[in-house]
A = this chain, B = another copy of it.
Amino acid sequence: MAFFPASLENLIDKFASLPGIGRKSAQRLAFHVLSLPEPEALAFAGAITQARRSVRCCKVCQNLTEEEICPICASDRRDQGTICVVSEPRDVLSIERSREYNGTYHVLHGVLSPMNHVGPDDLKIKELLVRAAQEGVEEIIMATNPDTEGEATAMYISRLLKPFGVKVSRLAYGIPVGSNLEFADDATLTRALEGRTEM
């Protein structure tokens, strides 16, 4: 027997279906939404509808956008000959934050993960190959995460890119700036030594 009204139970179910939200948190969120003034609650509902309807993938780089082609791909101030390959839209945000990169992106929307049944066809790899085949593309920078799955994905894609004769590079590994040698793990230290540069 459910003691909450049906529409409240339904809302709790919806919140509980979100990743990382348990039953108790879902209850708390649902109660919060009910306690909002009606216009605010409706604005929340509207934001979901609006975002789901108007956000799509850029035809070129597959990043999320409301246009057919995203502002970065459409900009003539960006170097369209360099493509930085990332796994998620939020990674674009991270790299943009550094203000150091002036090329374009390609968002894979995931990484290869046999454990989770994610294969090459589930990622936007084909779209990347189409871009690599176009004239003017000089360098493709693999910027997937430096974990096992990110490495494997970068490796897999760089092999596919070989025949196109494009330069393929990988982000440098090493000690994070401002960090402490004491806290660096072995794998990072090894990579930092291997990648040492002359001063």
A: residues with CB less than 8 A from B are 1, 3-8, 10-11, 13-14, 18-21, 25, 27-34, 36, 38, 41-55, 64-66, 88-90, 92-93, 96
Contact = CB atoms under 8 A, between A and B. Distances in A.
Given A14-B44, A19-B29, 10 more contacts: A5-B54, A5-B55, A5-B66, A6-B66, A7-B47, A27-B90, A34-B52, A34-B64, A42-B48, A44-B48
Contacts of A38: 52-53
B55 A7 contact: yes
A28 B21 CA distance: 11
A3, A36, A88: residue with the most chain B Cβ atoms closer than 10 Å:
A3
Contacts of A54: 5, 7
A102 to B, nearest CB: 14
Contacts of A41: 48-49, 52
5 contacts: A5-B66, A7-B54, A8-B51, A8-B55, A18-B29
Contact of A11 (B13, B42, B48): B48
A76 to B, nearest CB: 18
A125 B13 CA distance: 31
Contacts of A55: 5, 7-8, 34
Given A20-B25, A29-B19, A32-B19, A14 B92 contact: no
A32 to B, nearest CB: 5
Which of A29, A52, A64, A66 has the most chain B CB within a 10 Å cutoff? A52
Contacts of A88: 31
A33 B33 CA distance: 17
A38 B54 CA distance: 11
